[in-house]
Amino acid sequence: MTFEKVKNIEIEFNGEKFARIPVKTKVIVKGDDIAAVVSEYVSGNTQKGDLVFISEKAVACSQGRSIPLTEIKPGFWAVRLSHFVTKTPHGIGLGMPETMQMAIVECGLPRILVASLVGAVGKLLRRKGDFYRVAGDKAASIDGPTPYTIAPYNKCVTLGPKEPDKTARDISRKIGCPVAIVDVNDLGGKVLGASSKEMDRDVIVALLRDNPLGQGSEQTPVGIIRKA
């Protein structure tokens, strides 16, 4: 297996250097055994002390949580609330009716309405992030379609993975390494699932803060963190 280049394979944290090694895989689809897929592509390339991290989107796709736009019918509130979402160059987020509709399905309309109200007040106070602090990880993990996303997911809305901690533990048992399921983009990141409660999620986010795997056509949903 040949490792792909990343933005910067090494990063320094607390005076120590770490490598973030990307692993190219096949396009992961509904029904794939994610533990088996990860094992196939990292087998023979991990060593003691490594931590394997996996894109939450890859896990979600294997669970069938990527829904074609044609199957989503936005309702009244989804259409109206999506107009108030701040759009960024890094992704659609909930700024389209289809992604907002899935947030309503995942989180419930009352919670999304409260989050929208709190978010609106936060904007008046020039404060960011209030909507997602109320709506929670399920809303924050929803990805909309973008032109640079690998097909067929460039025409889908992808939800966050189910049972990310359990999934991380299952993969860890399969490959014999600690595992983290991460949601990382150019705006920041979060560890959604970890194979061990002792794992320091803040350190993992810090080590991945520059989104080393990218989020487009790289086709590298798996990576290895290794102390250099």
- Tens of pLDDT, residue by residue over 98-113, are 999 999 999 999 999 9
Let me know: does 160 contact 135? Beta carbons within 8 Å.
no
Give me the residues of the chain with pLDDT under 70, please: 1-8, 86-91, 186-187, 214-217
As annotated, the residues of the chain forming the CATH 3.30.1330.100 domain(s) are 10-65+160-227
Please tell me whether the overall predicted TM-score, pTM, comes out greater than 0.85 for this model: yes
- Tens of pLDDT, residue by residue over 128-163, are 889 989 999 899 889 998 888 888 899 999 999 999
Per-residue model confidence (pLDDT) at position 8: 61
- Cβ contacts of 125 within 8 Å, gap of 6 or more: none
Other CB atoms within a 10 A radius of the CB of residue 122 amount to 16
So what's the architecture of 10-65+160-227 in CATH? 2-Layer Sandwich (3.30)
